[in-house]
């Protein structure tokens, strides 16, 4: 599916998220069933994702944090002081303080669709960096965002860690990068996390950990559909699968029906044969050239690539 962007919540009379229902119903009606990955992140899904970042096989979070810890001097040299750091999706991570303490920013602007996350992240950062102006903005960052007037005269640094860009197909990723370019304005820089292509067994293990946390994350989508969309999908009839698809340089996550299954969602009937799948996520991986090509198509010029010692993950600095 291409409808991967996040949107503000629009509930119907029954309190059901209209976008969720329409994405699920249309996604299950396609020949290859598919549901956009953004629907993973209900409360339980967000918690499971936090847990994923700590399983031994899931290297991206640790690798990116290693880069942020180790390359502070180079960030300071190439980014300089006084920029307004605009973070796309204000995570509750340790990553942001590492960047902010390396570069002495002029302001911090966390953007998030969830006001709750946003306020928590803003309060956390204000406490860690007394004196740093923090201007949280509740916004859908896949669209053009109006930045607060208070940072209008500061040069910007966009920060988009985690390789979330990899969860989008290239055409969606390019649209987002172009919107970021407009949001951040002339003279801006962008520091973006991009996970790298590597051995297929390492990649597949990262998305199918032995403890089964990623499997639970994937299967939780069905539990959420059952709860929120008046559905009766037999969750135990599905199995998690992570497969490397070399043509697209991406890990795909699927939910595989183990037997013939019939179920309803919001009154609509669906049937799946044994072995048929619901495609739930893409996670694209990059090499230096493909990262550069994506950024250039998104109206950004690559300046520098940093990787962790094992060259598993990259942080790329680009200029407007
Ligand atoms: C959020 N995103 C960058 C994660 C990834 O690696 O694609 C989501 C995830 N899916 C399974 N494990 C982690």
Per the CB < 8 A criterion, the answer to whether 182 and 144 are in contact is yes
Residues with Cβ within 6 A of ligand 1? 52, 60, 162-164, 166-167, 207, 214, 281, 283
Q: Specify the residue with its C-alpha closest to ligand 1, atom 5.
A: 283
Sign of the torsion angle spanned by Cα atoms 66, 114, 120, 78: positive
Distances (CA, A) of 95 to 69, 102, 217: 9, 11, 23
Q: What is the pLDDT of residue 97?
A: 95
List, for residues 10-20, the tens digit of each pLDDT value.
787 777 789 99
List, for residues 71-84, the tens digit of each pLDDT value.
999 999 999 999 99
More confident residue, 5 or 195: 195
What mean pLDDT, rounded, does the chain reach? 94
Listed in sequence order, the DSSP H helices in the chain are 18-28, 43-52, 60-70, 72-79, 95-103, 115-128, 170-184, 200-206, 213-228, 288-297
Above 70 in pLDDT, residue 92? no
Per the CB < 8 A criterion, the answer to whether 271 and 181 are in contact is no
Pocket-testing residue among 38, 64, 162, 221, ligand 1, by greatest number of atoms within 8 A of Cβ: 162
Q: Specify the residue with its C-alpha closest to ligand 1, atom 2.
A: 164
Q: Is the ipTM of this complex over 0.90?
A: yes
Range 165-185 average pLDDT? 97
| Band of residue 1 on the pLDDT scale cut at 50, 70, 90 | very low
Distance between Cα 261 and ligand 1 center (Å): 27
Residue with tokens 């999908």, as numbered in its chain: 233
List, for residues 12-64, the tens digit of each pLDDT value.
777 778 999 999 999 999 999 999 999 999 999 999 999 999 999 999 999 99
DSSP helix/strand/coil, 37: helix
């Amino acid at each position: 599916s291409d409808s991967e962007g996040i949107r503000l919540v629009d509930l119907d009379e029954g309190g059901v998220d209209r976008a969720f229902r329409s994405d699920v119903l249309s996604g299950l009606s396609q020949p290859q069933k598919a549901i956009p990955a953004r629907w993973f992140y209900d409360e339980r899904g967000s918690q499971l994702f936090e847990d994923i970042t700590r399983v031994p096989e899931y290297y991206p979070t640790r690798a990116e944090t290693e880069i942020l810890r180790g390359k502070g001097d180079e960030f300071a040299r190439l980014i300089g002081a006084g920029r307004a750091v605009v973070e796309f999706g204000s995570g509750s991570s340790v990553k942001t303080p590492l960047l902010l303490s390396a570069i002495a920013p002029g302001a911090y602007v966390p953007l998030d669709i969830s006001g709750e996350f946003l306020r928590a992240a803003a309060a956390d950062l204000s406490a860690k960096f007394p004196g740093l102006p923090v201007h949280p903005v509740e916004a859908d960052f896949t669209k053009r965002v109006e930045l607060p007037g208070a940072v209008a005269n500061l040069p910007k640094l966009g920060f988009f860690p985690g390789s979330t860009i990899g969860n989008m197909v290239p055409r969606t990723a390019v649209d987002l990068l172009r919107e970021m370019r407009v949001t951040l304005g002339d003279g801006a820089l962008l520091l973006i996390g991009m996970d790298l292509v590597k051995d297929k067994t390492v990649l597949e293990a990262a998305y199918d950990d032995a403890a089964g946390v990623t499997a639970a994350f994937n299967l939780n989508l069905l539990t959420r559909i059952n709860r929120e969309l008046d559905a009766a999908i037999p969750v135990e009839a599905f199995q998690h699968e992570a497969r490397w698809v070399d043509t697209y340089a991406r890990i795909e996550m699927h939910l595989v029906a183990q037997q013939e299954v019939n179920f309803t969602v919001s009154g609509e009937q669906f049937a799946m044969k044994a072995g048929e799948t619901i495609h739930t996520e893409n996670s694209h991986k990059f090499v230096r050239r493909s990262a550069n090509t994506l950024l250039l198509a998104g109206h950004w010029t690559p300046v520098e690539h940093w990787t962790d010692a094992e060259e598993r993950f990259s942080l790329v600095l680009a200029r407007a």
